[in-house]
Amino acid sequence: MKAASKPATWPLDIYQVFKQNGIRQVAYVPDAGHSLLIKACHADKNMRAVCLTTEEEGVAMLAGAWLGGERGALLMQSSGAGNCINMLGMINECRFPLLMIITMRGHWGEFNPWQVPMSQATVPALNAIGVTVHTVEQPGEAAETVAAAARLAFSTGRAVAVLISQRVIGSKTFGK
């Protein structure tokens, strides 16, 4: 990460889209790329941000939220997408709306080889279990893509994942 780089605005753009769409429950497994968005959701009195022990917990939690009349969003990094697959089968069968925002690891400029296999499997695995995938390659695309995904998810009763490229987030380097 360059020291001179300006703070990213795309996470707060996504937060604004959450507000516009009446998102009340935000479930997450932390990712550095999501840290600003997580902070904003925790600070919002009209949102409940819930830290999970594993991503599939969030899939189930947001199904419960919808049954109770609330909209939610699930934040994770791509390594967590594989943890969700069976639970996403329930989302598919029940046609629960589900909005997932997934920051990519193991892709653009990655240095950790253990992140690569799940990265390569993320889109095919999500597609296989019935999740529609949108991608964000540039920071300026984040808001409109999440807005489109929210509309698709909540208006048609489908699971939609927005994948945010490492090109947008900046690659993790651990100083290497």
Partner 1 sequence: MKQRNPILDRRKVVAEILALRGDALVMPGLGAPTWDCAAVDDHPLTFYSWGGMGGCAMMGLGLALAQPRRRVLVITGDGELLMGLGSLATIGVERPRNLALIVIDNEHYGETGMQPTHTRHGVDLPAMARAAGFRSAGTVYTAQQLKAWMPRIHRQPGPVFCSIKVTTAHVPLVLPVREGTALKHRFREALLGPRALTE
Q: Which residues bind partner 1 (CB under 8 A)?
A: 24-25, 48, 50-54, 56-70, 72, 86-87, 89-90, 93-96
Which tokens belong to 129? 């279990």
Neighbours of 157 (CB within 10 A): 14
32 versus 94: smaller Cβ distance to partner 1:
94
For residue 70, the minimal CB distance to partner 1 (Å) is 4
Q: Which of 106, 156, 161, 171 is nearest to 135 (CA)?
A: 161
For residue 113, the minimal CB distance to partner 1 (Å) is 27
For residue 93, the minimal CB distance to partner 1 (Å) is 4
64 versus 117: smaller Cβ distance to partner 1:
64
For residue 45, the minimal CB distance to partner 1 (Å) is 14
27 versus 146: smaller Cβ distance to partner 1:
27
Which tokens belong to 173? 């380097």
* CA 176/CA 167 separation, integer angstroms: 17
* CA 142/CA 168 separation, integer angstroms: 9
68 versus 113: smaller Cβ distance to partner 1:
68
Q: CA–CA distance from 127 to each of 70, 117, 121 (Å)?
A: 25, 16, 10
